[in-house]
Amino acid sequence: MIKRALISVSDKTGIVEFAKALAALGVDIVSTGGTAAALNGAGVPTTEVQDLTGFPECLDGRVKTLHPKIHGGLLAVRSNEGHMEQMRANGVGMIDLVVVNLYPFKKTIERPGATLAEAIENIDIGGPAMLRSAAKNYQDVMVIVDPGDYAQALDAIARMAGGGADDACPASGVTDGGCSTSGGADGGSLAGGVNVGCSTSGGADNGSTATKTAAPESLNFRLAVKAFEHTASYDALIASHLGAAMQREAYFPDKLTLTFEKKQQMRYGENPHQGAAFYADPIPQRGSLATYTQLHGKELSYNNIGDLDGALSLLAEFDRPAVVAVKHANPCGAAVADDIYSAWTGAYESDKMSIYGGIIAANRTIDARVAAEIRKIFIEIVAAPGFDDEALKILSRKKNIRLLAIDPPAAPLAAPPTAPPAAPPAAPRGAADRAVGGAGSEVANGAADGAAGGPTSGPTSGATNVSTGGPMYMKKVGGGLLLQTNDNIVADMYNIKVVTEKKPTDIELADMSFAMAVVKHTKSNAIVLAKGNATTGVGPGQNSRIMAAKIAIEVAGDRAKSSVAASDAFFPMDDCVEAFAAAGVTAIIQPGGSVNDAESIEACNRHGIAMVFTGIRHFRH
């Protein structure tokens, strides 16, 4: 049974009640600092750690529990007579239960303006050491890191304390098996008591020997695993934060340690025969998927979350009222306008067929007028910063629709111009100092004579083209993980290169900026047609660029006439230009950089189409 517990917690939720229950069961409690003060103040008899160790807390509390009388009491294997003899010789008593959660490092670094010194001061040292010691010796020591586990632990401890010799072992009710015991001079100490088949024999001091076979499903083992997960996550967050502070550019450490927190256990994954769960960043960015609040409907599925992530990523490009529609992680409609209803109309009109069963995301509050239109069709999810009361009432009548409130991101990535500008349209926010292939790039310089350089020109050449900083994008592959900086630019519209005889109009430039933002979030090979700051056709995820172009043209139909076309990568030949010309497209924006750029430029000149090169490729796979 459990005779002595060490309690030291930052999160004091439920700790007084738990400690009182332990004390009522005859458990001696050892504690530190603020926890000891809280327990003593509540009338719980508590021994200070320094009274147990005979060594005072020092260095402003940095050294409290790093002492042999603590870690010896945790690490001693009760079934090892050699360990027991050393414990007796050194006057070290057993510690059977450790209740510890760590300094609030996460809360510290979440606080605006938190300094590096403050973060470092909130790195716990003694806590993780105790957790690891207790978890390593789980057969003899119970370890608790989560207040949510107090109830089941207390139930097990109470059953041990109240049970007889025959049921002291399976006290948690988690396992079964035979258990024979013989009392020692002081009653002994058996931590956990949740193992299948154990025999105990009492020692002569505060510590019994025990021979037990640990069951992997035992309560102690599960709590030990949870403790190791807790310390691993804690250390990963520290390493990540300090690593980011060390590097001003993209940080790719030699050893990558990541931590995420489970937000949702799912019914199944991408397909019904696959299991799945959604894990969130411990400190998610504002406006990210992990910050949603569900207002209506059943829980999100694996595919819902994938599609919603694509919708929110595209939505983050715009600061004007915008609506995007996504199906199977590809945009099927997007529009920006002066009001959210007009943006909804533009997105819906883009592809009325594909939007069916899709995801809708908006960056403004959904009002009753928009809600009434959405209600007419089958939509899986509507995500927005909010819904007015009438809109929520209208949409909630649909049983299967999911309504999510998600704050917009703090800083949109791109902002298509609000009106046809007199000068080149406003570049994506922050793009001027991040652009690949700006005024001094190979694409811009090589295009002066009508071609975008030679075979090595374009967005893929030169280490200086690598964007740095910002959040990371991860992709799991067999045997490893790919990590890259996010594609956080669209196009520097002040430094694009007009490579054709015909120059684009201001209206076309505005549509080009918008279309390039959408194509950036479309699976490659991708083509997007747009007009009036709304998509008219999207051709996603094709093995050949001409097929992507044909799909976009087919979706657009008659609306392709006077549209602009955006491509995520260069044209390997002039067939896309020919297709656009036949459909009535008037302007093209693309990265450039093909050895056959001259052919595409010549075809544009022949058909009177304006074309610009950005020098920025946007592959997305």
The helix/strand/coil state of 148 is helix
Query: Which residues are marked as active site?
Result: 136, 328
Separation of alpha carbons 273 and 215, rounded Å: 29
- Our CA dihedral for 62, 68, 69, 72, rounded to 10 degrees, sits at 120
Q: What is the DSSP string of 545-569?
A: HHHHHHHHHHHHGGGGTT-EEEESS
Q: CA angle 171-173-179, nearest 5°?
A: 50
Residues, the chain = 621
Burial 207-232 (b: 16+ CB within 10 A, else e): bbbbebebbeebbbbbbbebbbebbe
Which residues, at least 6 apart from 522, have a Cβ–Cβ distance to it below 8 Å?
330, 331, 528, 538, 540, 541, 568, 620
Residue 537, strand partner residues: 529
| CB 349, CB 370: distance < 8 Å | no
Count of C-beta atoms within a 10 Å radius of residue 147: 17
The helix/strand/coil state of 72 is helix
**Helices (H), ranges, 76-149:** 81-90, 105-110, 116-121, 126-136
* H-helix or E-strand spanning residue 390: helix 389-396
Residue in the structure block whose two tokens are 């991040």:
434
Pairing outcome for strands 527-530 and 28-31: unpaired
Identify the DSSP state of 355.
T
| CB 532, CB 516: distance < 8 Å | no
Separation of alpha carbons 565 and 512, rounded Å: 7
| CB 495, CB 435: distance < 8 Å | yes
Burial 601-611 (b: 16+ CB within 10 A, else e): bebbbebebbb
Among 527, 353, 491, CA closest to 416: 491
| CB 448, CB 457: distance < 8 Å | no
Angle at which helix 68-75 crosses helix 126-136, to 10 degrees, equals 30
| CB 581, CB 609: distance < 8 Å | yes
Pairing outcome for strands 322-327 and 330-336: antiparallel
Separation of alpha carbons 299 and 452, rounded Å: 50
Which residues, at least 6 apart from 41, have a Cβ–Cβ distance to it below 8 Å?
none
Separation of alpha carbons 231 and 3, rounded Å: 25
Count of C-beta atoms within a 10 Å radius of residue 68: 12
Among 183, 153, 189, 186, CA closest to 171: 153
Separation of alpha carbons 238 and 244, rounded Å: 10
Token digits of residue 267: 């019914």
